[in-house]
Chains A and B, each alone.
Chain A
């Protein structure tokens, strides 16, 4: 079964704090792909990152960083020095042959950054 779990439904932080959004996945595929998307209040879904299952290197992009750990089936997302503009719903997603090349999304984590 393919499954993505985002246990944190809502998170609130004060501006400039660091925040980590958790994502845990289940898959039987040996090759799979993980994604993070951002949905700001305006409603569109914005692609942030794609990770292949055979590449466990962490990635940093500005204030964003991603920690992929196959041993714990996790793909966590950290925002450093959060800003009000980071307020959004963040979705983790999984795809692979077992999903029929479809994207399976978690239920999302709503992040509110308080000024």
Chain B
């Protein structure tokens, strides 16, 4: 299996622009997670899907952030409008049965820079 695939790997955008990050989870995995990593806050869970349904989005910073999972093989995280404080590495991860008893496998991340 190719693992979790994220695109793009790097994104530089101007403040106010819309940004869309993409994720393809490992085939057969039922759970998908979006994390954000910054020096100040470490790894933060943004949202968690199970069987394509958002289970917990309490980590989404504000209304500018939205995430979708239209099918089992694709998810997007959108920021509109983007702000410099959104600059971070965004990770997508998937696991077979959800976090309780199976590990999560991470993509290589998208490094977002908002100028």
Contact = CB atoms under 8 A, between A and B. Distances in A.
Contact of A102 (B56, B101, B103): B56
Contacts, number: 59
Contacts of A44: 106-109
B109 A33 contact: no
Contact of A95 (B50, B99, B106, B109): B99
Interface of B is mostly: strand
Contacts of A100: 48, 55-56
Given A43-B108, A44-B108, A108-B42, A33 B48 contact: no
Contact of A47 (B45, B56, B103, B111): B103
Given A33-B101, A101-B55, A102-B56, 8 more contacts: A97-B100, A101-B31, A101-B98, A101-B100, A103-B93, A103-B99, A105-B42, A107-B42
Interface of A: 31, 33, 35, 37, 43-47, 50, 52, 91, 95-97, 99-108
